[in-house]
Amino acid sequence: MTAPDELANPYPPEVARRYREAGYWTGQSFPDLLAGAVAAHGERPAVVGTGPWGPQRWTYAELDRRARVLAGGFAERGVAAGDRVVVWLPNVPEYLEVVWGLFLLGALPVFALPAHRESEVRYFAEHADAVAVVTVARHDRHDHAATALRVADDVAPVRDVVVVARDEDVPAGGVGLTRLREAAPREPAAPDPSRVAFLQLSGGTTGLPKLIPRTHDDYLYSVRASAEICGLTPGSVFLAVLPAAHNFTMSSPGLLGVTHAGGCSVLAPSPDADTCFGLIAAEGVTIAAVVPPLAAAWVAAREAQRSRAESTAAERADRDLSSLATLQVGGAKCGSELAARIGPALGARLQQVFGMAEGLVNYTRADDPDDVVLHTQGRPISPDDELRVVDPDDPDEREVPRGEVGALLTRGPYTIRGYFRAAEHNATAFTADGFYRTGDLVALTGRGDVVVSGRVKEQINRGGEKVAAEEVENHLMAHPGVLDAALVGVPDAFLGERTHAWVVARPGVETPAPAALRRFVRDRGVAAFKVPDRVQVVDAFPVTGVGKTSRRALRAALAAHLAEESTVEEEPPR
Ligand code: AMP
Ligand code: DBH
């Protein structure tokens, strides 16, 4: 289905050679990573979590045994090395069994978020020519399995929907995980480490999300280096709070970094403070990764607990967070005020993380001065990460003086050179010499730390969940009563930004109500975080005198207008 060279190493050969010579690309594959952990730490705990079969606690040897069986199970279902399989799972331990099963088989996971819905899952399956979708029965009041089965009906290459559920909960047409677990274990494949290992997802800026091809070599370099920067050891216990498939949770240093170090991954079934504080206390969690709104919620919960004097000894033990050495905050900007409250409230050292699924990840370091940790988003992983901060209005993209704000371009040993099957988009997303245009506005400090100050890309960062303005506008414009739509971000005290849709009604038809338009977008089967927080129907876009009404200028004008308005009128987030 895929031309063989489509998944080949996308870096120019001389660049690949340089990254190998520098020791970044070592030829390690995903199966090698697991084999290394099993050899060195086989009897140590690898995974803790709760799924359809109740609480699970697996050593590396047990995880490996399970993954080999699933590799055999997928093979029996006709999945072959190089095939793509959409993995659409919440934070259950079986997530790791499935993902490692696919890696050991040499198949390529295509990661979807649990919050995604039919429109996104269908797109991933189609765009990647996936042969199977793996999901759960129900999650978050949504029937994931039923949705996946509809996708399988319509998208020709999808032969199987594998349902991670007890047999009695597997709907007709689905294949229960127990079926795959009956297979004979399979010897791990030996994939070419220079080739693409999986497709990661991006928040996207255009009408359709993009798939990100990451090779074994480039990704595992970032994982090993991240584990080292974050000081992971076999004693590290990582709490996966955000979705396991999110690039932050997976690799910064995340689930894979912990595997490299021989530590333990604890999967949180829900990100709320009660659940997570309980897990931190019970499992001795040493490091957790969250987005700013979650960090704020945890801080507030802790401050509230402290002020309640009547807590019993048992309650106090249940909330003992003393093991938590590091709280990583990233995905969206962690403001200085929140940053300053984290240490005192949670007793953990803050680490800011500014990363992207396309590659580049920046960390503040454990030995950085407080000033750097509180006020910057850190510095890159690699000495060979190239960061150019350029004038966004300059067609020649000349660099701005150090310290000034500009658009960030980056290139390096773990940053992609192009999205998967997106030639047209790649032409604008990358420079001719291979820099990725991140769309972020940043300044570099004298020491080379990055301070994120905004963005040029048409994307709204809703508490770390990325919303592509154009994608939502397209959904709105599919409504017969809508002539035009523009989605903008509005400042929000909790989320950083929330979404506001301006809609121009189509003349001559009944003007749709805002609530009906929100429902319309939701019913089109998109992730809930993409449903506009507020919809406002107007006769025409309130912009004149902008010169040309490019959509970008329009959005900027609307955003400015709304920012003014929102200082007067505050709406609680959904
Ligand atoms: P994605 O490309 O979907 O993986 O999202 C990556 C984007 O998230 C980055 O380009 C930034 O816009 C945003 N982001 C991630 N971490 C941070 C951070 N610590 N501060 C500000 N923005 C961030
Ligand atoms: O937002 C992100 O995509 C992100 C944030 C922190 C990321 O991909 C990462 C770390 O690796």
CB 214 within 8 A of CB 416: yes
Instruction: Report the atom number in ligand 1 closest to the C-alpha of 203.
Output: 3
CATH of the domain at 554: 3.30.300.30
Q: Whose CA is nearest to atom 5 of ligand 1?
A: 356
Q: Which two tokens stand for residue 123?
A: 């797109």
pLDDT in the model for residue 571:
43
- Would you say 52 and 168 are in contact if contact means Cβ atoms under 8 Å apart? no
User: What are the tokens at 320?
Assistant: 């003992």
Ligand nearest to the CA of 350: 1
pLDDT confidence of 545, banded at 50, 70, 90?
Answer: low
CA distances from 446 to 326, 376, 403 (A): 26, 12, 7
329 C-alpha to ligand 2 centroid (Å):
10
Q: Are both 156 and 281 inside the same structural domain? A: no
**Pair (105, 177) in one structural domain:** yes
Segment 401-440, tens digit of pLDDT: 999 999 999 999 999 999 999 999 999 999 999 999 999 9
Are residues 486 and 452 part of one domain?
A: no
Please check whether residue 252 lies inside any domain of the structure.
no
Pairwise CA distance, residues 256 & 37, whole Å = 10
Give the predicted TM-score (pTM) of the model: 0.95
Alpha-helix residue ranges (DSSP H) falling in 290-415: 292-307, 313-318, 336-346, 370-375
**pLDDT on residue 549:** 52
Mean pLDDT lowest among 151-160, 384-393, 483-492: 483-492
Note whether residue 429 is domain-resident.
yes
CA dist 407 and 393 (Å) reads 9
Does 2 score more than 70 pLDDT? no
**CA–CA dist 490, 532 (Å, integer):** 11
pLDDT score, position 570: 40
Q: Is the dihedral of CA 160, 162, 166, 171 positive or negative?
A: negative
In this predicted structure, what is the pLDDT of residue 32?
99
Helices (H), 378-478: 423-429, 469-477
CB atoms within 10 A of CB 143: 15
Q: Is 378 in the pocket of ligand 1 (CB under 6 A)?
A: no
Yes or no: say if 246 and 330 are a contact pair by the CB < 8 Å rule.
no
Can you give the pLDDT at residue 568? 45
**pLDDT of the residue at 313:** 76
CATH number of residue 379's parent domain = 3.40.50.12780
202 touches ligand 1 (CB under 6 Å): yes
How far is Cα 438 from Cα 302, in angstroms, rounded to an integer? 35
Tell whether 502 and 450 lie within a shared domain: no
Peptide bond preceding 13 in cis form (omega within 30 of 0):
no
Instruction: Rank 159-173, 479-493, 498-512 by mean pLDDT and report only the highest.
Output: 159-173
Give nearest CA residue, ligand 1 atom 20: 333
What pLDDT sits at residue 204? Answer: 77
Answer whether residue 221 is part of any domain.
Answer: no
- pLDDT digits 0-9 by tens, 322-335: 999 999 999 999 99
What residue ranges in 202-340 does DSSP mark as E strands? 211-215, 237-240, 264-267, 287-290, 326-330
Encoding tokens for residue 147?
């949705």
* DSSP code per residue over 349-366: EEEEEEEETTEEEEE--T
Angle at 228 between CA 225 and CA 230, to 5 degrees: 110
Share of the chain above pLDDT 70, in %: 95
* 302 touches ligand 1 (CB under 6 Å): no
Distance CA 500, CA 462 (A): 11
Boundaries of domain holding 47:
4-13+28-213
Cα separation of the two ends of the chain: 42
Report residue 574's pLDDT band, with 50, 70 and 90 as the boundaries.
very low
Residues 180 and 316 in one domain: no
353 lines ligand 2 (CB under 6 A): yes
The answer, yes or no, to whether any atom of ligand 2 lies below 6 A from the CB of 292, is: no
Q: Does residue 494 fall inside a structural domain?
A: yes
Mean of the pLDDT values across residues 384-395? 97
- The whole-number pLDDT of residue 551 equals 66
Least confidently predicted of 127-136, 179-188, 201-210, 361-370: 201-210
Indicate the number of domains in the chain. 3
Element (H, E) at 277: helix 273-283
Domain match, 566 and 442 both: no
Q: What letters, b where the CB count within 10 A reaches 16 and e where it falls short, cover 12-29?
A: eeeebeebeeeebbeebb
* Pair 432, 491 in one domain: no
346 has pLDDT over 60: yes
What are the tens digits of pLDDT across the range 81-120? 999 999 999 999 999 999 999 999 999 999 999 999 999 9
Q: Which of 201, 200, 263 is nearest to 226 (CA)?
A: 263
Q: Which of 424, 456, 488 is the last residue of a domain?
A: 456
Q: Which two tokens stand for residue 498?
A: 């929330």
Pairing type for strands 108-111 and 132-136 reads: unpaired
pLDDT digits (tens, 9 = 90+) for 263-282: 999 999 999 999 999 999 99
Both tokens of 58, joined, read 């697996």
Mean pLDDT of the chain: 94
Residue type, 167: D
Residues 554 and 493 in one domain: yes
- The answer to whether the CB of 409 is under 6 A from ligand 1 is no
CATH code of the domain in which 89 resides = 3.40.50.980
Q: Which of 373, 466, 530 to mutate to test the pocket of ligand 1 (most atoms within 8 A of CB)?
A: 466
Closest residue (by CA) to atom 7 of ligand 1?
A: 356
- Whether residues 476 and 392 fall in one domain: no
Is 355 touching ligand 1 by the criterion CB < 6 Å?
A: yes
Q: Give distance in angstroms: CA of 495 to centre of ligand 1.
A: 14
As a whole number of angstroms, the distance between CA 161 and CA 22 comes to: 42
Residues 83, 102: Cα–Cα separation, whole Å:
9
Of 399, 421, 456, which one is at a domain's C-terminal end?
Answer: 456
For 201-251, write each residue's pLDDT tens digit.
888 777 778 999 999 999 999 999 999 999 999 999 999 999 999 999 999
- Same domain as 157, residue 47: yes
Closest among 427, 86, 1, 20 to 9, alpha carbons compared? 20
Is residue 46 in contact with ligand 2, taking CB distance under 6 Å? Answer: no
Rounded to an integer, what distance in angstroms lies between the CA atom of residue 43 and that of residue 59? 5
Per-residue pLDDT at 559 exceeds 80: no
Ligand nearest to the CA of 466: 1
Answer whether residue 317 shows pLDDT above 90. Answer: no
Of 402, 422, 456, which marks where a domain is finished? 456
* Res 558: pLDDT: 76
Residue 140 has pLDDT above 80, yes or no: yes
Query: Both 198 and 77 in a single domain?
Result: yes
CA of residue 356 to ligand 1 center, whole Å: 5
**At a CB cut-off of 8 Å and minimum separation 6, what does 219 contact?**
197, 198, 251, 414
Q: Is residue 138 part of a domain?
A: yes
Residue 403's φ and ψ, nearest 5 degrees, are: 100, -20
Q: Does the pLDDT of residue 532 top 90, yes or no? A: yes
- Residue type at 67 in one-letter notation: A
My answer on whether 433 and 498 are in the same domain is no
CA of 219 to the centre of ligand 2 (A): 13
Question: Has residue 475 been placed in a domain?
Answer: yes
Atom of ligand 2 nearest to the CA of 356: 8
Q: Is the CB of 73 inside a 6 Å radius of any atom of ligand 2? A: no
- Tell whether 500 is covered by a domain: yes
β-bridge pairing 45-51 and 465-468: unpaired
The pair of three-digit structure tokens given for residue 395, joined into one six-digit string: 């067609």
Query: Does the pLDDT at position 567 exceed 60?
Result: no
Assess if residue 405 is contained within a domain. Answer: yes
In this structure, of 8-12, 308-312, 457-461, the range with the lowest mean pLDDT score is 308-312
Q: State which of 435, 440, 465, 495 you would mutate to test the pocket of ligand 1, scoring each by most atoms of that ligand within 8 A of its C-beta.
A: 440
Would you say the CB of residue 331 lies under 6 angstroms from ligand 1? yes
